[in-house]
Amino acid sequence: MDNILSFIIGLWAGGIAVILNYAARNGEKVSTKVIENICLDDIKISKNFKRVKPQRDKLKERIAYYEKTGDFYSPIVLNKDNVLIDGYTSYIIAKMYEIEKVDIERK
């Protein structure tokens, strides 16, 4: 039984490696970070992000990417206290589309 389990785990791990290598060779963004799914309203925005608005062209490009793929161009990254570190345009798009829960990365 242990040999079968080891074989299955090996196949699974090998399959993941093949998928990641294929995606990387084809220029696709691949994230191997642990992702959580949280309520958008639980994200805290610092004064720095609130003060500086993203460039209009950048936001338009990110919206077009979201509409085409259904994914954000960049991940929403939070610290341990749910304060936004990166991915402000993704946060804005999630607000625009009234998305209740989003995937985030922790740093």
State residue 17's pLDDT score.
45
Neighbours of 98 (CB within 10 A): 7
pLDDT recorded at residue 33: 72
Based on the domain organization, do 14 and 56 belong to the same domain? no
Say how many C-beta atoms besides its own lie within 10 A of residue 20's C-beta.
Answer: 14
State pLDDT tens for residues 9-62.
554 544 554 444 455 556 666 555 768 999 999 999 999 998 988 999 999 999
22, 38: one domain = no
Q: Which helix (H) or strand (E) holds 31?
A: none
- 3-state class (DSSP) for residue 38: strand
pLDDT at residue 18, as a whole number: 45
- pLDDT for res 25: 57
CATH number at residue 101: 3.90.1530.10
pTM over cut 0.85: no
The answer for residues whose C-beta is within 8 angstroms of residue 39's C-beta and 6 or more apart is: 100, 101
> Same domain for 56 and 38?
yes
Domain count for the chain? 2
54 and 93 housed in the same domain? yes
Range of the domain at 14: 1-30
Query: Are residues 77 and 37 located together in one domain of the fold?
Result: yes
First-last CA distance in the chain: 39
Same domain for 43 and 4, yes or no, is no
Q: Answer yes or no: are the C-beta atoms of 103 and 35 closer than 8 Å.
A: yes
Same domain, 16 and 46: no
pLDDT score recorded for residue 60: 97
Structure tokens at 27: 């220029």
What is the tens place of the pLDDT at every residue in 68-78?
999 999 999 99
Shared domain check, 87 and 64: yes
